[in-house]
Amino acid sequence: MRIFFLAVLLVTSFPFATPALAQQVRVALVIGNGAYEKVAELPNPTRDAADIGRALERLDFKVTRSRTRLRKR
């Protein structure tokens, strides 16, 4: 009997939670890093990160992009 009342409570309270879920902001940080200390420079991470960023924007994510800035030592 308790399980029945718990189920009824959950089912009846779910519609009130839906608007809060719908208003969530979806954010993503996309980093294109192709410069590593002990590995040769990778050619595609910046383009790959741009592609992923566009795909996430189509899914309504707010995307912040960052890419590696190469500095010679």
pLDDT in tens, the chain (73 residues): 677 666 766 666 666 665 655 567 889 988 888 888 888 888 888 888 889 899 999 999 999 877 666 555 4
State whether residue 63 is helix, strand or coil. strand
Domain with 67, as residue range(s), is 25-73
Establish if 8 belongs to a structural domain. Answer: no
As a whole number of angstroms, the distance between CA 25 and CA 28 comes to 10
CA angle, 58 then 64 then 69, to 5°: 125
pTM comes to 0.57
Report how many domains make up the chain.
Answer: 1
Name the residue with tokens 């910046």: 46
Q: Where are the beta strands (DSSP E) in the chain?
A: 27-32, 62-67
Nearest residue to 27 via CA among 72, 1, 65: 65
